[in-house]
Amino acid sequence: MNDMDFTDKTALIVGGSSGIGNGVAQNFRARGADVHVWGTRKSASDYSAADGSDLEGLTYSCVDVSKFDQIDAAKPTFESLDILVLCQGLVRYGKAEFERAGWDEVMNVNLNSVMDCSRKFHPMLKESAGSLIIMSSVVAFRSSMGNPAYVASKAGAAALTATLGEAWARDGIRVNGIAPGYVETKLTAVTSENEKRHDMMVKSIPLRRSGTPSEIAGAALFLASPLASYVVGQTLVVDGGMILS
């Protein structure tokens, strides 16, 4: 028996069009799952490798999760669902998150839409006794001076993971989360494309390097697998040791 074989399993990765979510999607696909992804662009051909995207073999749908009616209206491209991974996320710089518009924009995508997607697919996950995985961040457990909404949304995501973990365990759904450290994606370009900032960030990581989307995916594979059958409501830190001290 191979606990990492996801043949006959169906996964939806919201925010699976690029970066970490795309790595999660391709890792489930490589292990046999039928994988569906949501992103913001009109079609799969609007993404390229330069965006950190590989949509080969994935079923893509355009659903803007900041528009809650789009989540409600989205017609699933699958009949049943075993694994839901919520990787949607954005950050706003230049003090924008201190203003109402920036705060709302970030909270809507990073936290409100997480609950909306969870609620939408709760019946399907209950039916399959499935697994829900919510992408938080190490900043959930710290501060990040310029990004109050991002930090609050990620702390909220970890708290939501614990609460849904408790509430939905009785439905046979295991809810867990992942808190990545530093992964080079379009979300972190402001750091990765600035040599000085990038070097400072890497110096703060005991492993002395950024993580890869596949290394974050490793935690998602574990949490969705039978190996994690007794893990509920936890947000697993995957950060190369970044927040140990």
Ligand X SMILES: NC(=O)c1ccc[n+]([C@@H]2O[C@H](COP(=O)([O-])OP(=O)(O)OC[C@H]3O[C@@H](n4cnc5c(N)ncnc54)[C@H](OP(=O)(O)O)[C@@H]3O)[C@@H](O)[C@H]2O)c1
Active site members? 150
Which residue, 39 or 233, has its beta carbon nearer to ligand X?
39
Q: Is there binding between residue 87 and ligand X (CB under 6 A)?
A: yes
Shortest spacing between CB 27 and ligand X, in angstroms = 13
Q: Is there binding between residue 77 and ligand X (CB under 6 A)?
A: no
* Among positions 26, 27, 176, 188, the unique one binding ligand X when judged by CB under 6 A: 188
User: Distance between CA atoms of 131 and 164, rounded to whole angstroms?
Assistant: 11
Interaction pattern, residues 37-56, with ligand X; x per rule: CB under 6 A: -xxxx----------x----
Interaction pattern, residues 138-167, with ligand X; x per rule: CB under 6 A: ------------------------------
* Among positions 20, 149, 238, 242, the unique one binding ligand X when judged by CB under 6 A: 20
Q: Which residue from 65, 54, 61, 66 is spatially nearest to 77, judged by alpha carbons?
A: 61
Q: Taking the chain, what is the end-to-end CA distance rounded to the nearest angstrom?
A: 39
Q: Which residue from 240, 165, 166 is spatially nearest to 204, judged by alpha carbons?
A: 240
Shortest spacing between CB 195 and ligand X, in angstroms = 17
Q: Which residue from 206, 205, 213, 152 is spatially nearest to 186, judged by alpha carbons?
A: 213
Q: Which stretch binds ligand X (CB under 6 A): 73-81, 88-96, 121-129, 198-206?
A: 88-96
User: Distance between CA atoms of 187 and 189, rounded to whole angstroms?
Assistant: 6
Q: Is there binding between residue 64 and ligand X (CB under 6 A)?
A: yes
Task: Show the DSSP H helices in 85-212 as ranges.
Answer: 100-107, 113-128, 148-169, 189-192, 195-203
Reported as type and span, the H/E element at residue 225 is none
User: Distance between CA atoms of 142 and 90, rounded to whole angstroms?
Assistant: 18
Q: Is there binding between residue 185 and ligand X (CB under 6 A)?
A: yes
For ligand X, the binding residues (CB under 6 A) are 15, 17-21, 38-41, 52, 64-66, 87-90, 109, 135, 137, 180, 182-183, 185-188
